[in-house]
């Protein structure tokens, strides 16, 4: 009788793990490895990733990339990444770069000196600063002429506009042989809305002389929401800075708005004029006066529009 072959039974196939569980295991292993590398980098770079949103005292937003001499570690925890470059021969980072991976792709920089530059920033929590928070933003007024350069910044919940005048021409109309002569130049336009001017300072106004207006001549300046007219520097021609004497013409003078004031620009945005008035006998025809230099600082708030 032929011998029956020994039947060999195959071992049962191991049950395949679900794909989600497999991916989770792989991710956990990678995270463990990354944590080990991060611990080494913390020691080498002199920083501590305490997982509470800070790195060496700087802001950390989500997914960070830490760059040492030749290596990079990606901590996959959010939608941003940052870069901590080494400085010279040392090991401490001197700045953090954060760049969102969202559609807006706004860049952010935090430097060692505490300077922060960014595009749009949003947070679900609050922002606390031991000092003030300043910066430029949209929603301000509009510069009008190249000889009056406008810069704006936010100071707390107010806006500060600085107008630097450099050789601003002001057409002064001849008013006749027995009256003063008045003119003005529009240098800024406030945004539409109800505007509260907390203060206006007009510092170090310096006038240029010319054959028509010599050093011995005199007059006045002011700032207002309308241009100076034949009636002189009065009413709305002086509602942003009072009429201030420049006599003789070579004097360097300053002035300020005496108290805060509200202006209704809800229908039409309010203009800002630099106005001049030249004394009666000092010119004999319409003349272009030149404001050699001045610095105007306007501190204001937008109260709303309707």
Q: What is the CATH number of the domain that holds 212?
A: 2.60.120
Statement to judge: residues 109 and 183 lie in one domain: no
Q: Are residues 258 and 195 in the same domain?
A: yes
Q: Which domain holds residue 105?
A: 19-120
The Cα 272–Cα 163 span in angstroms is 11
| 116 plus 144 within the same structural domain | no
User: Does residue 139 share a domain with residue 89?
Assistant: no
H-helix or E-strand spanning residue 125: none
Same domain? For 152 and 249 the reply is: yes
Domain count, the chain: 2
Q: Which of 73, 97, 120 is the last residue of a domain?
A: 120
Residue-wise pLDDT tens digits, 263-296: 999 999 999 999 999 999 999 999 999 999 999 9
Would you say residue 190 lies in a domain? yes
As a whole number of angstroms, the distance between CA 86 and CA 94 comes to 7
176 and 202 part of one domain: yes
Helix (H, G, I), strand (E, B) or coil at 41: helix
Evaluate whether residue 14 is within a structural domain.
Answer: no
> Number of C-alpha atoms within 13 angstroms, CB side, residue 81?
11
Question: Which secondary-structure segment (H or E) carries 304?
Answer: strand 287-304
The answer to whether residues 276 and 144 belong to one domain is yes
pLDDT digits (tens, 9 = 90+) for 97-152: 444 444 444 444 444 445 555 555 556 655 665 555 555 455 678 888 888 888 88
In a domain, 240, yes or no: yes
Average pLDDT for 207-216: 94
145 plus 291 within the same structural domain = yes
pLDDT above 90 (res 82): no
Which residues partner with 75 through β-bridges? 64
Q: What are the tokens at 79?
A: 């939608």
- Taking the whole predicted model, whether its pTM rises above 0.75 is answered as no
The band of 6, judged by pLDDT with boundaries at 50, 70 and 90, is low
Residue 152 and residue 297 share a domain: yes
Query: Is 5 within the bounds of a domain?
Result: no
Q: How distant, in Å, are the alpha carbons of 48, 87, 135, 282 from that of 94?
A: 14, 6, 22, 61
Dihedral sign for Cα atoms in the order 31, 33, 34, 40 = positive
* Residue that terminates a domain, selected from 58, 90, 120: 120
- Do 177 and 275 belong to one domain? yes
Same domain for 155 and 83: no
| Contact predicate 193/303, CB 8 Å | yes
CA–CA separation, 240 and 187 (whole Å): 13
Say if residue 177 is in the same domain as residue 53: no
Residue 80 lies in a domain: yes
- Is the residue at 229 inside a domain? yes
Within a domain: 130 = no
């Amino acid at each position: 009788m032929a011998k029956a072959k020994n039947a060999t039974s195959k071992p049962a196939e191991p049950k395949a793990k679900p794909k989600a569980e497999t991916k989770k295991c792989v991710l956990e292993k990678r995270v463990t490895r990354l944590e080990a590398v991060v611990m080494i980098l913390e020691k080498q770079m002199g920083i501590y990733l305490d997982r509470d949103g800070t790195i060496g005292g700087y802001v950390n937003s989500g997914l960070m990339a830490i760059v040492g001499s030749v290596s990079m570690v990606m901590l996959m925890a959010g939608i941003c990444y940052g870069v901590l470059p080494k400085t010279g021969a040392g090991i401490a980072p001197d700045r953090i770069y954060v760049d969102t991976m969202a559609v807006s792709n706004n860049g952010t920089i935090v430097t060692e000196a505490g300077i922060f530059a960014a595009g749009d920033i949003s947070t679900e929590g609050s922002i606390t600063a031991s000092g003030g928070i300043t910066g430029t933003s949209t929603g301000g007024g509009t510069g009008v002429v190249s000889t009056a350069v406008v810069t704006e910044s936010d100071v707390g919940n107010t806006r500060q506009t600085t107008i630097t005048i450099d050789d601003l021409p002001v057409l002064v109309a001849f008013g006749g042989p027995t009256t003063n002569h008045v003119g003005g130049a529009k240098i800024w336009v406030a945004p539409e809305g109800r505007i509260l001017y907390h203060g206006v300072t007009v510092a170090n106004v310096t006038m240029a002389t010319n054959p028509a207006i010599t050093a011995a001549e005199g007059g006045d300046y002011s700032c207002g929401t309308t241009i100076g007219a034949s009636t002189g520097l009065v009413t709305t021609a002086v509602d942003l800075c009072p009429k201030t004497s420049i006599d003789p013409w070579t004097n360097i003078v300053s002035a300020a708005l005496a108290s805060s004031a509200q202006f209704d620009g809800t229908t039409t945005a309010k203009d800002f004029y630099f106005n001049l008035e030249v004394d009666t006998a000092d010119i004999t025809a319409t003349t272009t006066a030149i404001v050699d230099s001045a610095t105007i600082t306007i501190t204001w708030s937008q109260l709303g529009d309707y």
